[in-house]
Structure 1
């Protein structure tokens, strides 16, 4: 049974907008779950936030993965990844959303095996070349973390684990929950563009999305929670064209869009305009990881089609309403999101003698 506790983080060096601050807090707590949100300065350290801990102690294992897997072989591994992600986020405020999306795109295809990281500009057969991965970024952050880890502990930490840890840190830097990530993944030796062809698509019905998630062992609640990751980040007008101008055969807009919101979307993404213009997925709260996107979805302010459709389906609507307090009991969004991320992070992982530990994340050994 999963035991959820609250804790403050172990020693963690943060980069803030104006200074360095070293916090050392190591006691474990188990009060009722709560979250602390404070006003932002772009990725400035907010005062001690409440952490979500998926395990009750270091060494807790999930399958063949283990929290603290590198505690002996590379004890500074998680801190090194955290440092690189924080450094990158302070330079580019879009990095947290990019790293969160990268983790999802890696796991949802062949499992969390780092297959999306394989990159050769002259090889069109690699998974990353799929149109379903268009716009996925953050590879350079993973590469920098890997280089620093190789300098510290050569041949120990997998690229797949770096991606999972970086996503966790990205959520936390956006003032979302901190959760322990079971590690011990190994990197895959396969990366095929065709494997990404069956990814969930933003234009698909909720029934199809549920089926695709179920095939991966993920639930309807996971679908809602992982979709809520859109609380940070942006999308391009390219993904809104049909929803705004050709929703029905012959034209028209998606009637589920709030009529007061539709003119704003059309102003940002005019017909025949620049399809690369970007707009926030969670208007009004696009840099803060919170439940605001669920409120937007309920109010007809969901930007992409798949998010909006979640409120048209009875079962996913009930899940959204429960988090917003319209149904009882009211669950903890932060805790449930963290648990969904851990579940997703365990999809089809390589452990033990399977796979490899890449020396460079962008190519096989």
Structure 2
């Protein structure tokens, strides 16, 4: 076990060094002088949030993903609507779904108390996502920091750029490729679904209409999610990983091999297509999954960040200064 941990750590630092070269303005040590206790503040805040609600770890990780996929990792998902733009919170993929904004508000307040007007909301979200994974038993990695916050948001981009839970494999690969993420990155990042829960309305089509699903699993989900028409039960929740929804492990991939993917898009990763072999590898090799997940998270965190003189350091994550 110790040697396995050392291998993961070495590979993580290799990926971080490559990312630092690719984006010289960002570094894991960006706040070493200006806010040296940043990681501890974020970790303690996230620990309390997860104690209060274990599902919150998955929600914060998802919030980071949904931020980065829309105009880059710029904190735009946290902005409320204004008279000059419609924010991303009420885009179809986020409406009644994206959550954890109050947790980020709390972390921001704690960081501001220690380091006023220093750390961006975008960086706080990136660090919080890492802490969520770590606190739920997943890998840790040095987070690239130095992002600044956007002054605007785009509901239209959120509607078009974020992958749908009903997407097929070709569409998923295309959506990730548009963000310079490979199919391997896509499959590793999808492993984030090993934690958290989903609303009935997002997985109803899969359990009622698809045939590539374990019939016992489908029957169990139908008890939670009445259908097939929308209506009562839309907000009922089901775990993404039926065995360990509050632990970051490779159970999600084991579920896919057993045809127990909750979303249509999940099961598309193991449905006779190009990702089957990788899913099978991750299902029995946690080291391979952890390493690829970390590499993909670092790459995703480098999607079009605002740095240097661009953007701002918001005082309140919900509004521009």
TM-score above 0.5: yes
- Tell me if structure 2 keeps the 8 A contact 1:99–1:137: yes
1:338 CA displacement: 1.1
Aligned residues: 312
Q: Pick from 236, 243, 255: which aligns with 1:296?
A: 255
Q: How does 1:63-78 map to 2 (within 5 A)?
A: 63=23, 64-78=25-39
Q: Pick from 120, 138, 144: which aligns with 2:106?
A: 144
- Tell me if structure 2 keeps the 8 A contact 1:297–1:308: yes
Where is the strand percentage greater, Structure 1 or Structure 2? 1
- Tell me if structure 2 keeps the 8 A contact 1:127–1:196: yes
Where is the helix percentage greater, Structure 1 or Structure 2? 2
- Of structures 1 and 2, the one with the larger relative CO (CA 8 A, separation 6+) is 2
Q: Using structure 2 for the length normalisation, give the TM-score.
A: 0.91
User: Which runs of 5 or more residues in structure 2 are unaligned?
Assistant: none
Q: Is residue 265 from structure 1 mapped to residue 221 from structure 2 by the alignment?
A: yes
1:351 CA displacement: 0.7
Q: Is residue 33 from structure 1 mapped to residue 7 from structure 2 by the alignment?
A: no
Distance 1:182-1:302 versus aligned 2 partners, 3 A rule: same
State the partner residue of 1:15: none
Q: Pick from 286, 299, 308: which aligns with 1:343?
A: 299
State the partner residue of 1:133: 94
- Tell me if structure 1 keeps the 8 A contact 2:200–2:238: yes
How many angstroms apart in 2 are the aligned matches of 1:325 and 1:291?
A: 8
User: Which runs of 5 or more residues in structure 1 are unaligned?
Assistant: 1-5, 7-30, 36-49, 246-252
1:121 CA displacement: 8.2
Distance 1:90-1:161 versus aligned 2 partners, 3 A rule: same
How many angstroms apart in 2 are the aligned matches of 1:122 and 1:276?
A: 30
- Tell me if structure 1 keeps the 8 A contact 2:193–2:252: yes
State the partner residue of 1:320: 279
1:222 CA displacement: 1.0
- 1:50-75 Cα offsets, whole Å, 9 max, x none, are 86773269998341210111001111
- Tell me if structure 2 keeps the 8 A contact 1:51–1:177: no
How many angstroms apart in 2 are the aligned matches of 1:219 and 1:352?
A: 28
1:213 CA displacement: 0.5
1:242 CA displacement: 2.0
Larger Rg computed on CA atoms: 1
1:270 CA displacement: 2.0
1:166 CA displacement: 0.2
- Tell me if structure 1 keeps the 8 A contact 2:257–2:283: no
- Tell me if structure 2 keeps the 8 A contact 1:52–1:178: no
Runs of 4+ more than 3 Å apart = 50-53, 56-60, 120-124
Q: Using structure 1 for the length normalisation, give the TM-score.
A: 0.80
Q: Is residue 219 from structure 1 mapped to residue 182 from structure 2 by the alignment?
A: yes
SS at match of 1:279: strand
How many angstroms apart in 2 are the aligned matches of 1:73 and 1:313?
A: 51
How many angstroms apart in 2 are the aligned matches of 1:332 and 1:307?
A: 19
SS at match of 2:163: coil
How many angstroms apart in 1 are the aligned matches of 2:109 and 2:141?
A: 24
- 1:82-120 Cα offsets, whole Å, 9 max, x none, are 111111111111110110010001001111000000014
- 1:278-300 Cα offsets, whole Å, 9 max, x none, are 01011011111001110100110
State the partner residue of 1:201: 164
Q: How does 1:1-80 map to 2 (within 5 A)?
A: 32-34=3-5, 54-55=12-13, 61-62=20-21, 63=23, 64-80=25-41
- Tell me if structure 1 keeps the 8 A contact 2:281–2:288: no
Deviates more, 1:61-70 or 1:220-229: 61-70
1:136 CA displacement: 0.6
